[in-house]
Amino acid sequence: MDQSDGLKIEAASGGSLRKYATGQTKAPDFLTIYALVQCTPDLPQQQCINCLDYVYSRIPNCCSGKVGGRVVGPTCSVRYEKYLFYGSPYDPRPPSQKAPAPSNNTINNATEGQKSSHKSRNIIIAVVATVAGVVLIIFFLVCLRLRKSKKNVQAIETYEPVDEIESAESLQYNFETIKVATDQFSEDNKLGQGGFGAVYKGRLANGQDIAVKRLCRGSGQGDLEFKNEVMLVAKLQHRNLVRLLGFSLESSERLLVYEFVQNASLDHFIFDPRNRVTLDWDRRYKIIGGVARGLLYLHEDSRLRIIHRDLKASNILLDEEMNPKIADFGMARLFVVDQTQGNTSRIVGTYGYMAPEYAMHGHFSVKSDVFSFGVLILEIVSGQKNNSFRQGEYVEDLLSYTWRIYREGNTSKMVDPLMRVGSASEVMRCIHIGLLCVQENIENRPTMNAIVPMLNSNSLSLPLPSEPAFFMRSNTGSHMSFGSDFNSRETTKSSNHPKNDCINEASITELFPR
């Protein structure tokens, strides 16, 4: 448009009532283009010009090749068409044509009209301002109400805003759908039983295989807290963690729906003489490294610091490529990022994996999981359980046996004889790291942030380990035991409990408010 700059200047120089300009220009093929530019009346001249410059610059992006178009800016707009589109209250004549001089009566009538228009505009502005003020006050009160509600919900042990619970609905499965998928929770589909409920294999209508944990009744947890915790766990995304797909909540029935992992749990391989043969050192080393990366994610890289509290071979699932996935967050504790340790009066866990400070005093931290990880390393290398280890004349646990032969300089004696060894230096390094993890002094244990590089690099020098926890000596008869301070979370089945009722030591997670 040839007259665009002229129209821009004319509109910008308008008065406080109107800032607009119209014009026309000839285009190819005897076509006439009509244009109108305008700014809001309260806009100063230079700001009007700046706004129109911005709108002009947008025309090639939106309207190139079109015979007409309109671009609207924050406080101005431009429109052009091949037909005359502007009229009353705008003057249809191009600004280049002079209008006849008005008579006195016309001037008086125009003056009265302007006064009336100005008065009407003031009334409109007052009404709009009043309405806007009322809306702002209502909005402010609603915000205060929501903020107070969020604080109340956080006070009952939740980290996430209440409005995020709405997105939990997208994760919710129909209870009847899960019943059909598991064939009415049939025994044939049952994969296992724990203190927090049974796990069943299922298949959805779309062919997807799932694992369903049917939680025990009577946990005492409210629906809101249950949904919130599901949302937290569902946000954990790592290749070495079992992925939570969703949940079902109906009356007293609470179901957690997980991805199905094909090769069951690590204990079905590592503690079975027949299956153990299939785990050569390369696969065992791969499992150790995967579990380490999963724990590092929970301790350092996830949105919240998460303490698993029940890391053991039966809670490590193996996919079709034998990649490990940490499962069962039934006793996990979620910390705020800068929190390092906590206390509990309920000692729940599995004998042989619990750190001494947790088993005896209820103190737990990331170092508690490190202890469990150390036990797991030594079990993977030896193929033996920590709490049922026997070696010749010695009756001792795996930790004390490993420590004894380490001091003798003969740790190769503990390596699983059924395992086809790959790198002897890697095996010895893993035994060394395992002993570092199970040291009795919590300060001496490394963090997962230090352990992962230890596993991946032979160039890093390792510190000397000190005596492990629960050290036993059969020749003296001394025995450090848990006694009555320990409540096992191993399989619990009793005829005194109705179906799907079991001893439930904790909810899905236990949260510390900030």
Q: Between vectors from CA 443 to CA 482 and to CA 484, what angle results, nearest 5°? A: 10
Helix extents (H) in 64-167: 104-155
Q: How far apart are CA 399 and CA 109, in angstroms?
A: 104
Question: Is 397 one of the catalytic residues?
Answer: no
Task: Give the closest residue to 244 by CA, choosing from 256, 255, 253, 254.
Answer: 256
- Is the C-alpha dihedral spanning 326, 332, 338, 339 positive or negative? negative
Task: Give the closest residue to 95 by CA, choosing from 161, 175, 39, 11.
Answer: 11
Q: How many residues does the chain have?
A: 514
Cis peptide before 465 (omega within 30 of 0): no
Q: How far apart are CA 74 and CA 201, in angstroms?
A: 58
Please tell me which residue in 223, 310, 319, 501 is annotated as part of the active site.
310
Which H or E element spans position 179?
helix 175-181
Q: How far apart are CA 180 and CA 175, in angstroms?
A: 9
Task: Give the closest residue to 490 by CA, choosing from 245, 184, 267.
Answer: 267
- 162: amino acid identity, one letter: V
- Report CA 100 to chain centroid distance, whole Å: 73
Kindly state the tokens that stand for 318.
Answer: 């193996």
Helix axes 448-456, 281-296, angle to 10 degrees: 150
Task: Tell me the CA distances in angstroms from 325 to 45, 259, 286, one per residue in order.
Answer: 66, 11, 12
Which residue pairs, CB below 8 angstroms and at least 24 apart, start in 23-28?
Answer: 23/94, 23/95, 23/96, 24/94, 25/1, 27/82
- 171: amino acid identity, one letter: L
Task: Tell me the CA distances in angstroms from 278 to 34, 268, 273, 312, 458, one per residue in order.
Answer: 82, 12, 10, 20, 26
Question: At a CB cut-off of 8 Å and minimum separation 6, what does 288 contact?
Answer: 376, 377, 380, 430, 455
Residues involved in catalysis = 310
